[in-house]
Chains A and B, each alone.
Chain A
């Protein structure tokens, strides 16, 4: 149920190198991107507010770690309040009726509690992790069976999670939300349709308007890490 974990092995030297790049990254972006998610824009997708408004918002990574490490029920409640409505909304947009979407959102949050031990803050933001759980839940419901999930790659030696990686992963959703808000309406709608399951892979392939370059330029963590591990 862990969805699409990226499990990379970075050797210690690569990590050092990566950190130096990371510092440069942070220096470039710190004034623009706050440390946490921007406030949500209810019902007004696309009318973007800037990410600088993120200041003072909740740190979901910290809440998730409180759930994972201390079974903190109050932290779970805060995560539930934020994410359950989004899971429900996403599933409804994907064609699930409201009652089933409500049940599935409950299930997804129960999985978040149950499998919290699998959460690795250096690999994905909480939003991304919740998304993969919701996605898998949707597949399970549609097929009445588990979908195929990638297996783990080689496990590297256990190391303490890198704080810079955790920071970077926590930022990914905020960056992408900001990037999405900046997109022309047509492009944003295409991305959404792809994720709501309205476009098949061949329709996505035939679609030239998808802003893949923009998306990839906003999320460097996974790709950077890959380059590091290969260098």
Chain B
């Protein structure tokens, strides 16, 4: 898989710091599961977290050590490095947890024109959803009030900025007004997260928006 569009440093730092809304965290965790480069960058930013923590000692309460020692039970047993059992599934591991299985387990809901979506259960503050866009089909022209992350899982889409294939993530901010179109040949399945409702240019999608929660 040759990934050309990666996560930004700010997203990786915020994830490393534990400070991304859950929906964005899901996109980051999923991309990192697919991308060696971003996994390495994330390791760097987690190490920075270790160094920041290093400078912040506050004394523990009296008796804290004794309490900790009293708590020590049997540690988890060593397991051989088995392949994760969901390895052969068609969704990356972080997504499987949210979907409750692979693609077959997704509870799609039609948005019309063959486009389908499934909202994933995440905490308030941002929304995550899977999008199914039939080959050659366009997602209605829209802009963003906040940030929209779109990670391609299957197929590919193009918009005015570039082509996005499997593993690629598009980071769209307020400036970007775009019409993503799924490439011909294969349906495009994406994981998308937004921290504000999308802004559709046309009237019909705008009217439908409250119904579909996009």
Contact = CB atoms under 8 A, between A and B. Distances in A.
Interface of A: 3-4, 6-8, 37, 40-42, 45, 71, 73, 76-77, 80-81, 84-90, 92-93, 98, 101-102, 105-106, 109-110, 113-118, 123-125, 127-132, 134-136, 138-139, 143, 145, 147-153, 155, 158, 172-173, 176-177, 179-180, 191-192, 194-197, 199-202, 204-205, 210, 212, 215-216, 219, 221-223, 225-226, 229-230
Nearest to B67: A106
B29 A148 contact: yes
B94 A150 contact: yes
A147 B18 contact: yes
A153 B36 contact: yes
Given A151-B92, A201-B24, A110 B68 contact: yes
Closest 9 CB pairs of A and B: A151-B93, A89-B56, A176-B51, A127-B50, A201-B14, A128-B50, A89-B58, A204-B10, A205-B10
Given A77-B69, A204-B13, A90 B56 contact: yes
B22 A116 contact: no
A31 B101 CA distance: 52
Given A131-B46, A172-B47, A109 B68 contact: yes
B58 A152 contact: no
A197 B49 contact: no
Given A110-B68, A147-B25, A204-B14, A125 B47 contact: yes
B9 A158 contact: no
A42 B44 contact: no
B69 A117 contact: no
